[in-house]
Structure 1
Amino acid sequence: MTGHAADPYDPKAVRASTGSVFAVPVVTAASAGAVIEGMRTARLGRDAPLQVVGTDEAGEVELAHVDLTLPTLVVTGNETRGLSAQWRDACDVVARIPMRASAASSLNMASATAVVLYEALRQRAAM
């Protein structure tokens, strides 16, 4: 979580996460730049490259066609503005989640992230 974001330990957020906020590491940073710099450091000396996958309704690749079996940092923008330019530039790929014609053009942040994580689990289980 970077910049101005919801408090993951707010009682409403904890309840909505059904407690998973205590089982999955939550990392906060002052800015996207701080995370991107840490990400560059994490990429050094790894056997498998760390890829950065962003989500956007106008992404260039459908999510199912992104190899999520690799070590992956998933970046999801907020519902109002989507990915910042700084995050978009840091992404190796910006994926879209296909939506059938409906009144909604995109999912909210939590739903989009859940879909990406499910797809990663699906791909990894098939290995």
Structure 2
Amino acid sequence: MDNPRSDRVRSVAALSKRSVRARTGRFAVEGPQGVREAVRHAPASVRDVYLTAEAMARYAADIVEPARAARLWVHEVTPEVLAAMAETDAPQGVLAVVEAAAPTLEDVLAGGPRILVLLTHVRDPGNAGTVIRGADAAGADAVLVSEASVDVFSPKVVRSTAGSLFHLPVVTGLDVDATLARLRGAGVRTYAADGSGTTLLPDADLSGPHCWVMGNEAWGLDDAVRDTCDEVVRVPIHGLAESLNLAMAATVCLYASAAHR
């Protein structure tokens, strides 16, 4: 494929827009790490894989052969075509179009989860993606995302997950109040991670099923949400730092949970 102005190229490039992703149910994954994980862990969702000739040779074992073994469409394209498809200036010669998974909260609860994290009003793509990556690394069962949060299938979020988006369920579009009520009904305790908490993280009882509730990067958790949670937990600060950012705090909390698992 060598025409950067073709309809196919334009349709892939259009996936950088949220409205197009919502309409098509598809999103783009750029770079070898994300594409490799999509091919390896979610091949049924991968529609097309695009690579330059150089990338075809470099990632033959990691991407091309597994993709062809899964009977996926693998296309060789020119660097100009890939650049026209990608949002980034340096997509490293690899891009895939993937159908967005749509797990539900009920799907997650049916699996008897032990560790969850709920993002409420999280707007920064890097933070959202890093929380998903941290949740994956800590062995969380799922990431829950409120309807007011960033689109997890946006290019920046997808890149910052480093492939973890394909390793665990990510439930999106949730109403926060309804989600907290449903978690409580399923026997999952909810812990608001907030600097105002009177319980320090090392003192929190994380032995049972629980969900960390994380707030907005700028203003934290709404008072009503914080008050609805079973407990408000604070990460202790031992040095002079005023606070941890959202992604760091979430990862610290999730690893504390993992230690009890």
Say whether the fold is shared (TM-score over 0.5): yes
More helix as a share of residues: 2
Task: Name which one, 1 or 2, has greater alpha-carbon Rg.
Answer: 2
- Contact conserved, 1:57 with 1:105, CA < 8 A, in 2? no
- Pick closer, same or farther for the CA change 1:6–1:75 going to 2, 3 Å: same
What is the TM-score with the length of structure 1 in the denominator?
Answer: 0.82
Q: Provide the residue aligned with 2:167 in structure 1.
A: 23
Q: CA deviation at 1:36?
A: 2.1
- 3-12 or 111-120: bigger deviation: 3-12
Supply the distance in 2 between the matched residues of 1:30 and 1:69 (Cα, whole angstroms): 26
Helix, strand or coil at the partner of 1:13:
helix
Question: AA paired with 1:37?
Answer: A
Unaligned runs of 5+ in 2: 1-144
Q: Provide the residue aligned with 1:97 in structure 2.
A: 235
Q: Provide the residue aligned with 1:47 in structure 2.
A: none
- Contact conserved, 1:29 with 1:35, CA < 8 A, in 2? no
Which of these residues, 49, 67, 71, is aligned with residue 205 of structure 2?
Answer: 67
- Contact conserved, 1:32 with 1:86, CA < 8 A, in 2? no
Question: AA paired with 1:17?
Answer: T
What is the TM-score with the length of structure 2 in the denominator?
Answer: 0.42
- Could you list the structure 1 runs, at least 4 aligned residues long, displaced by more than 3 angstroms after superposition: none
Which of these residues, 80, 88, 91, is aligned with residue 218 of structure 2?
Answer: 80
Helix, strand or coil at the partner of 2:170:
coil
Q: CA deviation at 1:91?
A: 1.1
Supply the distance in 1 between the matched residues of 2:226 and 2:258 (Cα, whole angstroms): 24
Q: CA deviation at 1:111?
A: 1.1
Which of these residues, 223, 243, 247, is aligned with residue 110 of structure 1?
Answer: 247
Unaligned runs of 5+ in 1: 44-49
- Contact conserved, 1:33 with 1:86, CA < 8 A, in 2? no
Q: CA deviation at 1:28?
A: 2.2
- Pick closer, same or farther for the CA change 1:121–1:40 going to 2, 3 Å: closer
Which of these residues, 104, 119, 122, is aligned with residue 256 of structure 2?
Answer: 119
Q: Provide the residue aligned with 2:64 in structure 1.
A: none
More strand as a share of residues: 2
Aligned length: 117
- Contact conserved, 2:192 with 2:231, CA < 8 A, in 1? yes
Identity across matched positions, percent? 38
Supply the distance in 1 between the matched residues of 2:172 and 2:223 (Cα, whole angstroms): 19
Q: CA deviation at 1:30?
A: 4.5
Helix, strand or coil at the partner of 2:249:
helix
